[in-house]
Chains A and B, each alone.
Chain A
Amino acid sequence: MTTPDKGPPPDLDALHRHAYALRRTMLQMAAGKGEGYIAQGLGFADCLAALYFGELRHDPARPDDPDRDRFLLSTGHYSIAMYAALAEAGYLDRDELPTYALNGSRLPMSTFDDLPGIEVVGGSLGQGLGQAVGMALGLRLDGSPARVFCEFSDGELDEGSTWEALMSGATFDCDNLVALVDCNGIQADGPVTVRIEPVADKLAAFGWDTVEVNGNDLGELTAALAGARAPDGRPKAIVMRTTPGYGVPTVMARERAHFVRIADGEWDGLLRELDEHYGVVAHV
């Protein structure tokens, strides 16, 4: 990517603290539920930290601001990570987080857009990027400075609609659109089975200004996001290689599981593993 706008250098220490907090929140939300999409959430936490505490122009007090940057979570089942980020950013009261996945909760297992901060209904895979293209075009028509960031997963590249949207993003020169492709190598039945690699080469061939990064390296992520600011007439793609369960070795060891099951007695141990990963000595 070329000529990124100058901005203040990212405070990587602060982003690390936020990423740690997101992961800790997720483990606490999932504890006692016995299961959940915790592996994907842990793997995606660094990207959420880089967005909500760095790259996104947003104000939790004005979630309907027409000129806000949009973040679309296409994989609605990453909801546990999304709610953690919305709470950390101030959109959600932390007291509500324990209702995750409970009957009647505003925080269901998959994301719905009636919750402030959620831009689209995310559970039916392959629907996010096309909506992001439409948003980017509409914002450009209005002369808005807002940009659109859309997460989708490597498994979602199985869906033909994702490729339709990739072609449209390039056809309509959406340089206010950033695709964040979470390549974690897993989907519902286990490892990604369809031969989708090389993802970055394919996206580049589809006309996207593409970089590939370690999605669990905040230095690489923030540099890629800064590069994606270039108004060069091309949509931007950041192909993120992420490790499911990142930060918690026990979950990482189960990385081929789409839907991780954790026994009741294991959660405290997982929190201790996370603390050790971040070098936190004592956490009550």
Chain B
Amino acid sequence: MSSTAPVAGRTRGMGELIDVPDKTTVLAPFGTTLAELGRERPEIVGLTADMGRYSDILPFRDAFPDRFFNVGMAEQNLISMSAGLAKVGKIAYCTTYSVFVTRRAYDFVAIACAHSKANVKIFAGMPGLVNGYGATHQATEDLNMMRGIADLTVIDPCDATELQQVVRAVADIPGTVYVRLPRGRVPVDLDPDSYRFEVGQAKQLRWGGTTGIISTGYMTARALDALSVVADRGIEAGVLHVPTIKPFDVASVLEFARGYERIVVAENHKTTGGLATLVIETLFDAGLLRPVERIGLADSFFECGSQEYLEAKYGVDLGRFVEVLTSSRT
């Protein structure tokens, strides 16, 4: 193994608030929205497995201490207790990190929750490559795992605008939901006055050009940012944002794909088992045999470091999007 010199930058602390230059941000959009919703809906309870601070749920705890339960570092029990609360009429919003709820508590999500269509809403922090603590804390296969569970809704919100709407929307749909949770200072990329999240619906956000980007989570924001960067070169592309991974909006994906010569899929996840795989399945099943380019992570474990360092190293940063767009065959 060759020796390597450290590069500039450092791993950030788990609860560190990270500035987002040039963007409006909302602080703790999940917890503040849940606290508002909790006032309207007394059946909502909150739980965490020792990740209250790091999942932004503390505004709910502070508003409703009697309706909040910190179960300690026990993710299986977090999910079981949430299921039990749901089965006596509560809507249980629970938080931990994506890695722990998916890898450790999978059977409990499948059987205690999804199989019973229990009203458990799992908000899973640090999804994908947004954490510098290495593979132990980077949930890079969570969409793949969770989409494998029947009767589970899986959502990867883009930004603060969408997350705030998701917090409310999932209270109105029955059953178990897994939501990838952005925390801290969460950027506003979608216009709160015009954007409307709907469970199971993809939304087209940009039109034009011959390249169509199908993306989920904050990779949609990155696609929009990249289009701004290349706009003065006259480059345009379509962007279809797919926040709901399951149930998958097959019709919108097909309609979108038919309108573009070149299809690029972008996700904060491995390029196998997640959105790209879903898109390929969808196109293949419809007889639409097209190459699909993928922006995402390799089938690997990833190292520690700052988010900027990791994203550049593993090819999911803004530069990668710009590179893909400027190599467009338009």
Which residues of chain A have a CB within 8 Å of any CB of chain B? 66, 70, 112-113, 119-121, 123-124, 126-127, 129-139, 141-142, 144, 160-161, 164-165, 167-168, 171-172
Q: Binary interface profile of B, 220-239, with partner A (CB < 8 Å = 1, else 0)? A: 00000000000000000000
CA distance A144 to B90 in the complex (A): 13
Given A135-B85, A135-B87, A120 contacting B76 (CB threshold 8 A): no
Contacts of A133 in B (CB 8 A): 77, 80-81, 84
B90 to chain A: closest residue by CB: A138
Indicate which residue in B45, B67, B69, B80 contacts A131 across the interface (CB closer than 8 Å).
B80
Give A52 Cβ to nearest chain B Cβ, in Å: 20
Contacts of B74 in A (CB 8 A): 161, 164, 167-168
Give A111 Cβ to nearest chain B Cβ, in Å: 12
> Judging by beta carbons under 8 Å apart, are B111 and A138 in contact?
no
> Judging by beta carbons under 8 Å apart, are A137 and B85 in contact?
yes
Given A137-B81, A167-B72, A130 contacting B88 (CB threshold 8 A): no
Give A83 Cβ to nearest chain B Cβ, in Å: 19
CB of B214 within 8 A of chain A?
no
Give B48 Cβ to nearest chain A Cβ, in Å: 13
Interface-centre pick from B84, B90, B115 (highest chain A CB count, 10 A): B84
CB of B112 within 8 A of chain A?
yes
Contacts of B79 in A (CB 8 A): 130
CA distance A139 to B84 in the complex (A): 10
Contacts of B57 in A (CB 8 A): none
Q: Given A124-B111, A133-B81, list of 9 further CB < 8 A pairs?
A: A113-B116, A127-B108, A130-B84, A131-B112, A133-B77, A134-B85, A137-B85, A165-B77, A165-B81
> Judging by beta carbons under 8 Å apart, are B81 and A168 in contact?
yes
CA distance A131 to B74 in the complex (A): 13
> Judging by beta carbons under 8 Å apart, are A121 and B111 in contact?
yes
CA distance A131 to B92 in the complex (A): 12
Contacts of B303 in A (CB 8 A): none
Q: Binary interface profile of B, 80-122, with partner A (CB < 8 Å = 1, else 0)? A: 1111111111101000000000000001100110011000000
Give A64 Cβ to nearest chain B Cβ, in Å: 11
A165 to chain B: closest residue by CB: B77
Pick 27 A–B contacts, CB within 8 A, sort by A. A66-B89, A119-B87, A120-B116, A124-B111, A127-B108, A127-B111, A129-B80, A130-B77, A130-B80, A130-B108, A133-B77, A133-B80, A134-B83, A134-B84, A137-B85, A138-B45, A138-B90, A141-B45, A142-B88, A142-B89, A144-B88, A161-B76, A164-B71, A164-B76, A165-B81, A167-B72, A168-B74
Give B73 Cβ to nearest chain A Cβ, in Å: 9
CA distance A132 to B77 in the complex (A): 11
CB of B66 within 8 A of chain A?
yes
> Judging by beta carbons under 8 Å apart, are A135 and B76 in contact?
no
Contacts of A113 in B (CB 8 A): 116
Indicate which residue in B82, B86, B116 contacts A121 across the interface (CB closer than 8 Å).
B116
Contacts of A129 in B (CB 8 A): 80
> Judging by beta carbons under 8 Å apart, are A134 and B115 in contact?
no
> Judging by beta carbons under 8 Å apart, are A134 and B107 in contact?
no
> Judging by beta carbons under 8 Å apart, are A168 and B77 in contact?
yes
CA distance A113 to B86 in the complex (A): 14
Given A120-B112, A120-B116, A121-B112, A135 contacting B80 (CB threshold 8 A): no
CA distance A113 to B118 in the complex (A): 11
Contacts of A120 in B (CB 8 A): 83, 87, 112, 116
